[in-house]
Structure formats: structure tokens, C-alpha cells
């Protein structure tokens, strides 16, 4: 089944991500807001996916009923 119909798939504009697992932290170097000198920061991101990708851990979206 494709990612686009999985419970963990999230699409926001051009970004398509999988939220099956927690976001992955990455160290990045960027300028300090105060001094302007480079400093290390940590950012966390979910892995990008293509809507037609298949990973093997598909979980159907839950249907809400009233």
C-alpha cells in the first residue's frame, strides 16, 4: 500500500513526511542570533517520503464513525 494512504503519512504543501518513528535529530551549524558567530544547534526532522513509496510498515488510516 502506498504511503499516501497510511496513517503515519503527513503532507503539508510540498513536504511529505512519515511519522512512523520519532523525528531524527541532526547537528547543524548556524550563526548565533546574538554574536553572529557560528554555533552548533540540534534540529529534528521526520524522513521525507514520496506519496507512492511503500515501506512495509503500512497502517491503514482510521475511519471515524459517528
Sorted by where each begins, the domain ranges of the chain are 1-66
Q: Which three cell numbers, joined as nine digits, stand for 53? A: 513509496
Span 39-51, mean pLDDT?
Answer: 91
- Strand, helix or coil at 60? strand
Identify the DSSP state of 56. Answer: S
The model's pTM? 0.66
pLDDT of 64 reads 59
Amino acid at each position: 500500500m502506498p504511503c499516501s494512504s497510511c496513517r503515519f503519512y503527513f503532507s503539508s504543501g510540498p513536504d511529505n513526511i512519515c511519522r512512523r518513528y520519532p523525528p531524527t535529530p541532526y547537528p547543524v551549524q548556524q550563526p548565533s542570533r546574538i554574536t553572529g558567530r557560528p554555533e552548533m544547534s540540534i534540529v529534528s526532522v521526520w524522513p521525507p517520503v514520496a506519496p507512492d513509496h511503500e515501506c512495509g510498515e503500512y497502517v491503514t488510516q482510521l475511519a471515524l464513525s459517528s
